[in-house]
Amino acid sequence: MKEGSWALFVGRFQPFHLGHVHAVLHILKDEPRVVIAVGSSLSSHELRNPFTMGERVQMILAALSESGIDRGRYLITGVPDTPFHPSWVTYVLKSVPPISKVYTNDPLTATLFEEEGYKVIPVPLKDRGDYSGTEIRRRILAGENWSQLVPPSVYKLIREFGGDARVKKISTESFGS
């Protein structure tokens, strides 16, 4: 097992929702500190990745502050995708402080870090049917209520930077309707 004083939590956070807050709180019950790695950090303005890295960082900071999580217990960094998966792990490890464990439910991320000798721990999912970026983006597109799936501060931010309108616009451009 690798030694370090930080745990790693990887996600795209498109958007950062209450399930993510639940996951961070769970991780911090067992770990002194967590690095929140925002994956696909160079991707935005796409159906699957509508929000920019900066917008996602704003969401995370607002949500964790709203949840009363001490700012000294987490660090946020971005990690881009790479075409060669093993090089992605190297990039992540060079971009964060020394880590001891990785928290993820993504099978590829788990496999890549396990191959490098890291203990990988699944994150308990909170009502995954509702608390997922895919579901939130679907509700935005369908004009359904999604405000209860994200912290109030995140809802406010998304509305302020026009993220909900962007999701709809990207959808229209992607499907030509």
Instruction: Write down the pLDDT at residue 3.
Output: 58
Domain 6-175 sits in CATH 3.60.10.10: no
pTM of the full structure: 0.92
SS3 73: helix
Laid out side by side, the sheet with 74-79 consists of 74-79, 34-39, 6-11, 99-103, 119-121
Instruction: Write down the pLDDT at residue 161.
Output: 95
Model confidence at 49: pLDDT above 60: yes
Residue with tokens 């000294």: 72
Domain boundaries, the chain: 6-175
Helix (H) or strand (E) holding 100: strand 99-103
**Is-contact 114 120, C-beta < 8 A?**
yes
Q: pLDDT for 76-92, tens place per residue?
A: 999 999 999 989 999 99
* Cα 64 to Cα 20, 95, 133, 155, distances in angstroms: 10, 21, 17, 14
Structure tokens at 147: 């405000």
Q: pLDDT for 7-47, tens place per residue?
A: 999 999 999 999 999 999 999 999 999 999 999 999 999 99
